[in-house]
Chains A and B, each alone.
Chain A
């Protein structure tokens, strides 16, 4: 039994001063001045108490590439970043494209006992874009959604059927929308900085043209679709317009798309090599506008761990991605809340509530009586310098290494249990 005293409880609709009593894995009571002598008391004076964050998009590399990350280290990194539930993408080796593989992830998650890990199953067998996976059976085995992630379904016909088939089983489809024929060979955003550096560009249309296609396919299918890691102003516009005419589209962005630009590549820093690529100032502004007006529903991490040696090579040869689980909250707090762009309650909506709603995890994402006791306690006044060497993640490839950020996670509770960070 845990009692949070003097908490500033943050929910999607606002903040309230309250005590929180936690027992048997759930929130038993939310009221001022609770006294319960046998409970372990955590004084939350001056702290913000959020529902545990839910990451809809991370890569845990397990099975197959466990030198980069595994379910245990990745879920520990999640806790360090305040995430109590995470969804791992299926681009493992081999891919998570069948019920047995999905079950493997759930079992390892239970064994690790860190953040709750839900696997995302593939859309198509082997991410090959041809045959559909068993969505019904994968969902039974614990799959939270389907996605072909970094190898998006190139055939529009297959994608249209996948959306309809996913709708049948009411399983969300998370779309990494990218036209690989446009992005092929590119390593950074196709813009002034690519020209200055002599690095091959990924045109913005590689993302936005694919987003447009996938949104139109979902509209025709009458199915819902979630667009992953939105990075361009055009994508935001397409999704805003689709929402306005009633398409069941939701989307996410990542901290590096509102906290960084492609200026980061000027030093050939391979940790700034990310797909979709870091964009330009105008895109950052469009992403922030999309967050403000609700076009963007979710902040996800796209946590992509790699080993030091894999990143310490020529730019073109380095794999795409930055780790993000352990910095996402501070990035969002520093770049969105402290800039008065959004309120803490909006951050709760973006990082806890909306992910729970989209994924159908209705027992979490909120602090209310009866909800699962997944809670993160934050010191909003803490300021610190990111030191990737101290990450719980095996991946130290952080774009944000050395950045000064605000807002630090002090305690995390998962299903009523206080975790050590």
Chain B
């Protein structure tokens, strides 16, 4: 792969996505065999997280270590960012420290692009505002592929707070590019303008949306959304939009449930579904490390293979 940064699924070609997924598949096998690699020996990977995250950050750091990179994490709460340093200045500092890859998460959409344009290091977007979360979509793609072999023609239903979800955007674009049929489902108050422009169907009735689904992706409900009057109560949400065993009966045989985590049991997903045989939640975590190893490896070493 010949590119400096991975900022979003919408910037990637289908060939690049396939390259990342097939590399990730190799990485996953390596993880299962308990092996490590030296592909990033001597390289420096820095995680720069302006938003709290445990799983994504740990996953990137584990991925980098599995490849032999040295890893440093900048926690915004204790860094010079607290002293008022701008993102551009922080980026230049990391560059001067010899960082090869910066993994950034930020609450403002487009921040990773601003950073990428002012540093020589490669930049990986680990989530920017409501915009994209490419590594999450790629790990979802890997999980689906490993389960089905091929997701071409599969029906994907993403349900929940589509309006405020970067996972929804990245997933919708990625599964669309892989040939799946994507439906997004939410009350109108949680649907963004023009979401159908991303090539997906829109359905507000979850019982209709889920019929025949191969892949169901409930999004995490952020409880603070109730303050903005986006929906009424947790109880009503679960009744109309929760993924339950009963609803799974409407899905295709062999369907899977994926969730970006962390889950709210009994809210967007029933506990027995999360623990049930259709759940890929634990599988997703391991695949997350594999996908992030592939992203790091291809960005740093991609040119050498051409």
Residue pair A198, B129 in contact (C-beta under 8 Å): yes
List chain B residues, Cβ under 8 A from A191: 193-194
Q: A198-B169, A309-B86, A313-B87 are in contact. Are A268 and B194 (CB under 8 A)?
A: no
Residue pair A198, B87 in contact (C-beta under 8 Å): no
Q: From B110, B114, B197, B198, give the contact of A197 (CB < 8 A).
A: B110
Closest to B133 in A: A198
List chain A residues, Cβ under 8 A from B197: 192, 195-196
Can you give 12 A-B contacts (C-beta < 8 A)?
Answer: A194-B193, A196-B197, A197-B110, A198-B110, A198-B132, A199-B131, A201-B193, A313-B114, A314-B106, A315-B108, A315-B111, A316-B107
CA gap between A314 and B91 in the complex, in Å: 13
Interface residues in A168-217 by Cβ distance below 8 A to B read: 190-192, 194-201
Instruction: Tell me, yes or no, whether B5 is within 8 Å of chain A by CB.
Output: no
- Report A's interface with B, CB cutoff 8 A: 190-192, 194-201, 268, 309, 312-317
Closest to B113 in A: A268
Residue pair B131, A197 in contact (C-beta under 8 Å): yes
Instruction: Tell me, yes or no, whether B128 is within 8 Å of chain A by CB.
Output: yes
Interface residues in B87-133 by Cβ distance below 8 A to A read: 87-88, 106-111, 113-114, 128-132
**Shortest 5 CB-CB distances between A and B: which pairs?**
A198-B131, A192-B194, A268-B110, A198-B109, A198-B130
Q: A199-B131, A268-B113, A309-B86 are in contact. Are A314 and B108 (CB under 8 A)?
A: yes
Instruction: Tell me, yes or no, whether B166 is within 8 Å of chain A by CB.
Output: yes
Q: From A192, A199, A201, A312, give the contact of B110 (CB < 8 A).
A: A199
Q: From A192, A195, A199, give the contact of B129 (CB < 8 A).
A: A199
Instruction: Tell me, yes or no, whether B195 is within 8 Å of chain A by CB.
Output: yes
Main secondary structure of the interface of B (DSSP, over half): mixed
Residue pair B193, A315 in contact (C-beta under 8 Å): no
Instruction: Tell me, yes or no, whether B192 is within 8 Å of chain A by CB.
Output: yes
Indicate with 1 or 0, residue by residue over B3-14, a CB within 8 angstroms of chain A CB atoms: 000000010000
Task: Give the size of the chain B interface in residues (CB under 8 angstroms).
Answer: 25
Measured CB to CB, the closest approach of chain A to B96, in angstroms, equals 18
List chain B residues, Cβ under 8 A from A196: 10, 194, 197-198
Indicate with 1 or 0, residue by residue over B119-160, a CB within 8 angstroms of chain A CB atoms: 000000000111110000000000000000000000000000
List chain B residues, Cβ under 8 A from A194: 192-193
Q: A309-B86, A313-B87 are in contact. Are A195 and B109 (CB under 8 A)?
A: no
Q: A268-B114, A316-B129 are in contact. Are A197 and B109 (CB under 8 A)?
A: yes
Measured CB to CB, the closest approach of chain B to A319, in angstroms, equals 14
Residue pair B193, A190 in contact (C-beta under 8 Å): yes
List chain B residues, Cβ under 8 A from A313: 86-88, 114
Q: From B10, B88, B130, give the contact of A199 (CB < 8 A).
A: B130
Chain A CB count within 10 A is highest, among B132, B194, B198, for B194
CA gap between A190 and B191 in the complex, in Å: 12
CA gap between A15 and B10 in the complex, in Å: 52
List chain B residues, Cβ under 8 A from A197: 109-110, 131
Q: From A195, A198, A312, give the contact of B128 (CB < 8 A).
A: A198
Measured CB to CB, the closest approach of chain B to A176, in angstroms, equals 24
Q: From A309, A312, A314, give the contact of B111 (CB < 8 A).
A: A314
Closest to B129 in A: A198
Closest to A201 in B: B193
Interface residues in B190-249 by Cβ distance below 8 A to A read: 192-195, 197-198
Q: From B10, B87, B130, B169, give the contact of A314 (CB < 8 A).
A: B87
CA gap between A271 and B258 in the complex, in Å: 39
CA gap between A277 and B122 in the complex, in Å: 32
Closest to B110 in A: A268
CA gap between A43 and B106 in the complex, in Å: 58
New contact pairs (14) apart from A195-B197, A198-B169, CB-CB < 8 Å: A191-B193, A196-B198, A197-B110, A197-B131, A198-B109, A198-B131, A199-B110, A199-B129, A201-B193, A268-B113, A312-B86, A315-B109, A315-B110, A316-B109
Residue pair B166, A198 in contact (C-beta under 8 Å): yes
List chain A residues, Cβ under 8 A from B107: 316
CA gap between A421 and B207 in the complex, in Å: 68
List chain B residues, Cβ under 8 A from A190: 193
CA gap between A201 and B195 in the complex, in Å: 13
Chain B CB count within 10 A is highest, among A191, A196, A201, for A196
List chain A residues, Cβ under 8 A from B166: 198
CA gap between A316 and B131 in the complex, in Å: 13
Residue pair B110, A314 in contact (C-beta under 8 Å): yes
List chain A residues, Cβ under 8 A from B88: 312-313
Measured CB to CB, the closest approach of chain A to B201, in angstroms, equals 15
List chain A residues, Cβ under 8 A from B109: 197-199, 268, 315-316
Closest to A193 in B: B194
CA gap between A245 and B30 in the complex, in Å: 76
Closest to A191 in B: B193
CA gap between A184 and B91 in the complex, in Å: 30
Closest to B164 in A: A200
CA gap between A312 and B114 in the complex, in Å: 8
Chain A CB count within 10 A is highest, among B86, B108, B169, B195, for B108
List chain A residues, Cβ under 8 A from B130: 198-200
CA gap between A198 and B131 in the complex, in Å: 4
Chain A CB count within 10 A is highest, among B106, B129, B195, for B129
CA gap between A63 and B10 in the complex, in Å: 45
CA gap between A315 and B115 in the complex, in Å: 12
Closest to B194 in A: A192
List chain A residues, Cβ under 8 A from B195: 195
Measured CB to CB, the closest approach of chain A to B12, in angstroms, equals 15
CA gap between A198 and B108 in the complex, in Å: 9
